[in-house]
Structures are given as structure tokens and as C-alpha cells.
Amino acid sequence: MPEKQSRSETSGRERLGVLGGFGAFLLLMFGFLLFMGYSQTTESSGILWWQETHEVPMDERMPYLQGAIIFWAAAAILAGITLWLTVRRQSGRLKRYVPILKGVESMPVQQIASIVNVSPGRVYRDVQKMIDSDMIDDVYIDYQAGQVVSKKFTPDRSHKTVVTCPSCGARSEVIVGITRACSYCGQPLPL
């Protein structure tokens, strides 16, 4: 039962983010319409040939400008709150992977997905985001094997080979299956 509850809370939070973004957009557009009313300096009345044009005084246009500023400020506040909630939710979602991956040599993505109750595709994206943002730096994703692997893990059937760095031309010894950076220039070495 708690799994269904957490999924409904997640979808509710996503809907709240979408509604917040849509609300901010509407406030921004209403502010724009009010600003258009403020920027109209002349007004015409009458029909075709008998039209009269007169200038609209500033004191009649000023409430439009004030309303536009209020709507724009409300849109900025709502957009800021929505962005803050979205970032906070995403960082909280990513933090739940840390205890699962801590101290693990190798773990199938499918197993991680079943633990956190999400799709394997979501696990791939989330773990890659964590690696890219340096939230975790001691693992990599082996897409071919469908596993998250520790950089310190040495496979049972491993063998070493010498590769040439495509960036600086230095030759380095690597274990096949383990990503390593060139010790001279820091670029990833091809496997």
C-alpha cells in the first residue's frame, strides 16, 4: 500500500509543477495584456468617416501599468516556487539511490529499479544525472551488461590491454571493461 501512496504523491507533485508553470504563464500573459492597455496613448471613437482621435491622459493609463507589474511579480514568484519545488523533488529522488549503490561492486539496473519502484529507463537516467553532477563519482553504468558497476570492481574474467590515448597519444595499460582516464591528460581512454 505505501508504494501506491508514494506514486500518487509523485504524480500529484508533478501535476502541481505543471499547474504552477501554467499559472505563471497565464499571469505573465495577463500582465502583458494590461501593459498593452497602458501603452495605448490614443483612443478613437466614432464610425468610419466621423472618427475622432484623442489622447488618453497618463492618470487613466497608470492603473494598467500597476496591474501589469503586479501580475508580472506574481508570475515571477509562482515560477520561482515551482522551480524550487521541482529541483527539490528531483534531488530528493536522486538521493534515494546513494544508500543502494554505496559499497556495491556491481548491481543490475533491473534490481535497482525494483528496489526504488521505477522503470529501468528511469534508473539509467537518474544514475547518469548523479554521475554527471558528481553526486556519486565511484560508479559507472555498463549499458551493455545492464549494470551499475563500481570503478574499483575488477570482473572475474578480466584481462589487461594497452591502449593509446586519442588526445595526447600516451600509451596506458587498462583492464578491459573498466573505464579509466589517461594519466597524462585526463581524457577517457577507449576500451
- Rounded to two decimals, the pTM is 0.48
CB-based contact 190:178 (threshold 8 Å)? no
Q: Give the pLDDT confidence score for residue 33 in this predicted structure.
A: 94
Q: Where are the beta strands (DSSP E) in the chain?
A: 42-45, 52-55, 106-108, 139-142, 147-150, 160-164, 171-175
Q: 41 with 54: CB under 8 angstroms?
A: no
- Across the 191 residues of the chain, what is the mean pLDDT of every consecutive 10-residue run? 44 73 93 92 82 86 94 94 80 79 84 88 88 82 85 68 87 76 82 65
Per the structure block, which three cell numbers stand in for 137?
563519482
Count CB atoms within 10 A of the CB of residue 88. Answer: 11
**Record: fold of 96-153:** Arc Repressor Mutant, subunit A (1.10.10)
Of 63, 125, 45, 114, the C-alpha closest to 90 is 125
Q: Which of 107, 163, 172, 110 is nearest to 136 (CA)?
A: 107
